[in-house]
Amino acid sequence: MAKEVKTIGVLTSGGDAPGMNAAVRAVVRTALGHGMRVIGIQRGFNGLLNGETYEMNLRSVSEIIHRGGTILYTARCLEFKTEEGQRKGADMCQKLGIDALVVIGGDGSFRGAKALANLGIPCIGIPGTIDNDIACSEYTIGYDTAMNTAVEMVDKLRDTTQSHDRCSVVEVMGRNAGYIALNVGIATGAIATLIPERPYDLERDILERMQFTQKTGKKHFIVIVAEGAGHAQDLANEIQARTGIDSRATVLGHVQRGGSPTLRDRVTASRMGYQAVILLEKGIFNRVVAESADKIVDYDINVALSMHKSIDTTLLDVAETISI
């Protein structure tokens, strides 16, 4: 019989994502509403190892649903990747009286949760990453906000790009995943979108498309590149050298992580945070909460980490067909 969970620990780990605060808020208020205590752990697994914790109440999460970042802070923790660090983390949970842990973060965070689960600490993972690269979930907290932020920035760049008949090469986040780039490329009418999942040919995928559209009267261009597919400055230099078109690079960088979360991120985070606590209350441990067909589901953490996610090739066809 699963042990009764009376005290839940909650932490945010890895890169911050808009909507993490909404998830923390949902975890805290759902747990308190079901008679549980909540221990907030600051700075992710690093804070767990160092005992950076405090007890949370209803007012601990007031006025945070609209805020980006994470009130619990986040940090990388190399020590926690070691067996010794993981054992120390499990010991700290027991020392702090934490019966179960809710981990909000990405794939690396879930691997940390899996390690604790193997050491007897029940865990629930909530996918929070702007890259939308958690295989078991169709959607991850922060993705919508990051895309909308990128679109807003590219729209502003378009004004000066059009005024000067330039080519703007815009680098967006996505080291191993092209979800942000692909959707932003479609939304902004980019002449070309480069993603890690598909190798590109400069001549075929950019230069020839630019030349074709020039013949139809187009005089300014936007190229979107995921950071894992290439570097904006190198591409801009090459495009200008090969075409003579004034080309400028813009790296959006960490601005994509910030800002007030969109409605979708607030609602999804709230649903996932609520479900994480309900699972623990039912004695269902070591799961990852996910979204599938607009429903909140959950998977065994080992299964979740073994799953794979592929880019929607239809979106690639859409981008290549209409962005000319």
Going residue by residue through the chain, which has 324 residues, state the pLDDT in tens, using 9 for 90 and above: 567 999 999 999 999 999 999 999 999 999 999 999 999 999 999 999 999 999 999 999 999 999 999 999 998 888 999 999 999 999 999 999 999 999 999 999 999 999 999 999 999 999 999 999 999 999 999 999 999 999 999 999 999 999 999 999 999 999 899 999 999 999 999 999 999 999 999 999 999 999 999 999 999 999 999 999 999 999 999 999 999 999 999 999 999 999 999 999 999 999 999 999 999 999 999 999 999 999 999 999 999 999 999 888 899 899 989 988
Picking from 266, 305, 310, the residue whose alpha carbon sits closest to that of residue 287 is: 305
Other Cβ atoms closer than 10 A to 241 = 9
CA distance linking residue 9 with residue 99, whole number of Å: 8
pLDDT of residue 71: 97
Question: Pick from 225, 244, 227, 203: which is nearest to 319 by CA?
Answer: 225
pLDDT on residue 323: 85
Who's near 185: CB < 8 A, 6+ residues apart? 192, 193, 224, 319, 323
pLDDT of residue 305: 94
Residue matched to tokens 């808009």: 18
In angstroms, rounded to a whole number, what is the distance separating the alpha carbons of residues 113 and 134?
Answer: 14
Q: What is the pLDDT of residue 3?
A: 79
Tracing tokens 């996932």 back to the chain, one arrives at: 272
Of 321, 247, 289, 19, the residue nearest 147 (C-alpha): 19
- Which ranges constitute the DSSP H helices of the chain? 20-33, 44-50, 83-95, 107-118, 143-163, 179-188, 202, 208-215, 232-243, 263-281, 301-306, 313-322
pLDDT at 56: 98
pLDDT in the model for residue 233: 97
Tell me what pLDDT residue 130 has: 96
For residues 47-57, one letter each, b for 16 or more C-beta atoms within 10 angstroms of the residue's C-beta and e for the rest, the string is bbbbebbeebe
The token duo for 237 is 């230099």
Which residues have a catalytic role annotated?
131
Q: Would you state the pLDDT for residue 2?
A: 64
Question: What is the pLDDT at residue 313?
Answer: 83
